[in-house]
Amino acid sequence: MELPGKVLDVGCGTGRNSIFFARMGYEIDAIDVADAMSKKNKEHGLVKFHDSTAVDFNMPEERYIAVVGTRFLQYICPNTVNRLFQQWHQTLKPGGYIALSFVVSNSSVKGVKGYDVPYYYHNPEKVIKLAEDSGFSVIAKKYINKEPSGVNRVRKKLIDSFEVIFVKN
């Protein structure tokens, strides 16, 4: 049986999106440096887990039909985002897609979080410009204000996110 295509899940975390796409019939390469993915998800037949950063992962030319990244961009330095788009352009098949969801702020400055890794907020317009400069077009975009949860509920702040889908030109 031929699968519909191969998807790259960047910053896969627990593997929720990877398993979703695998159940839809896609073959998945899931990458993350955090060991949050459960053993069960790592052993799912159509998901190959790779312990790697988005930048360091070896991306063969024209392998994937889509790159999916949910809330991983805030761990990527703004100066590195351009390099990622260039890598994704090479690894996507013609007409391939990128679907991103990330936390936003008005400027690309390092945020403050209780993690041992840097945390960055990205300006959606700057991210879109970088993607367009790398050979992608926007096909859908939207801002999202989610209800506060956990620590954010105490501070009564909304979590502002941005979702965007690009297509390779």
pLDDT in tens, 41-57: 556 667 888 888 898 99
Burial 117-145 (b: 16+ CB within 10 A, else e): eeebbbbbeebbebbeebbbeeeeeeeee
Residue 86: closest CA among 27, 133, 25, 138:
133
**For residues 132 and 26, what is the distance between their CA atoms, to the nearest angstrom?**
27
Q: What mean pLDDT do residues 20-35 have?
A: 88
**For residues 112 and 27, what is the distance between their CA atoms, to the nearest angstrom?**
36
**For residues 81 and 84, what is the distance between their CA atoms, to the nearest angstrom?**
5
The enclosing H or E element of 11 equals none
The strand pairing partners of 143, in sequence order, are 162
Give per-residue pLDDT as tens, 117-161.
677 888 899 999 999 999 999 999 998 876 555 554 444 455 678
Average pLDDT value for the chain = 82
- pLDDT for 5 equals 92
Decide: pTM greater than 0.75.
yes
CA distances to 69, 123, 132 from 100, in Å? 5, 13, 14
**List of residues 6+ apart from 54 with CB closer than 8 A:** 10, 11, 31, 69, 72, 76, 84
Q: Does 113 or 5 have the greater pLDDT score?
A: 5
Topology adopted by domain 6-168: Rossmann fold (3.40.50)
Give per-residue pLDDT as tens, 59-73.
989 899 999 999 889
pLDDT bin (cut points 50, 70, 90) of residue 99 is very high
